[in-house]
Amino acid sequence: MTPRIHVRVPAKINLCLGVGASREDGFHPLATVYQAVDLCDEVRVSVRDDAELTVVVNRDGQPVDDGSVPVGRDNIAIKAAVLLREHVGRPDLGADIVIRKEIPVAGGMAGGSADAAATLVACNEAWGLGITREALEPLAAELGSDVPFLLHGGNALGSGRGEQVNQILSRGTFHWVAVTSHEGLSTAAVYREFDRLNPVGVTEPVVAPELLAALRSGDVKELGAALSNDLTPAALSLRPDLLDVMDMGMSLGAVATLLSGSGPTVLFLARDPAHSEELATLLSASGVGSDVIQAFGPVHGVRFL
């Protein structure tokens, strides 16, 4: 066994998020295009001599103990480790898991899902299980809709409830500025509001061909014109203040704006790295949001350090 493994895992954004009517199982069918961006959490796994599983979550070198991240068995990293050892029939395997958070919590960028994907990969390696990433995908899907994508990263089509992932090709790098919020937004609450706003159901979601064409060409303006998120009205209904953030970024010259997943993180597409720097400086000076973060994508999924 390898006693200690260190991995990095990216956040995700949804370049489009088409949402269908709620299914009998309570999930909504999705048609989405994921992009992994270089805003990353890091996960360290150290093998224990006993069957205990522990997790510590840090941000800026300090433990996250404000209740924003579940602890103990409720933490998704512990759930991932338990699921993996149950899958291989090795309840004797133990690990200490340390997570360094950079991805916003409850920000619509899959911070929890990223940590689950990272833990699956790191524990698989640390415990010497030899499972391929493709073989980890069904376990990842049990943990959350976004988790399978984060095993691989890049750009991908997501269908089903988002867990059915197919990689797609793109050209070039896209630059984003993310404005985070002082307060998270519950994904479940946003979907409930989506259902309330759409009482007679909605059409089956599809990915616009214009978006795929923009990715293939690497054209920033075409990509900006094709961005979409069906959860935006629901998120803005719960958090109308986010519209002010979106309007602010557009007034400062962003190519396009988009809510990340179910929000509340607001994304702005920049033309290039210099424009991203300029836009981030202006947004920071405006005082909107909690933090302003630059990121680019696509990047790889979980990778070893």
Q: Which residues are catalytic?
A: 12, 146
Between CA 41 and CA 96 the distance in angstroms is: 16
- Closest residue by Cα to residue 234 from 264, 205, 257: 264
Helix (H) or strand (E) holding 166: strand 164-167
- For residue 193, what are the CA distances in angstroms to 161, 235, 236? 17, 8, 10
The residues with which 47 forms a beta bridge, in sequence order, are 95
| Greatest CA separation for the chain | 57
Please tell me whether the peptide bond between 199 and the residue prior to it is cis, using omega within 30 degrees of 0.
no
Phi, psi (degrees; rounded to nearest 5) at 173:
-125, 140
**Interaxial angle between packed helices 111-126 and 133-143, expressed in degrees from 0 to 180 and rounded to the nearest 10:** 140
DSSP label at residue 73? G
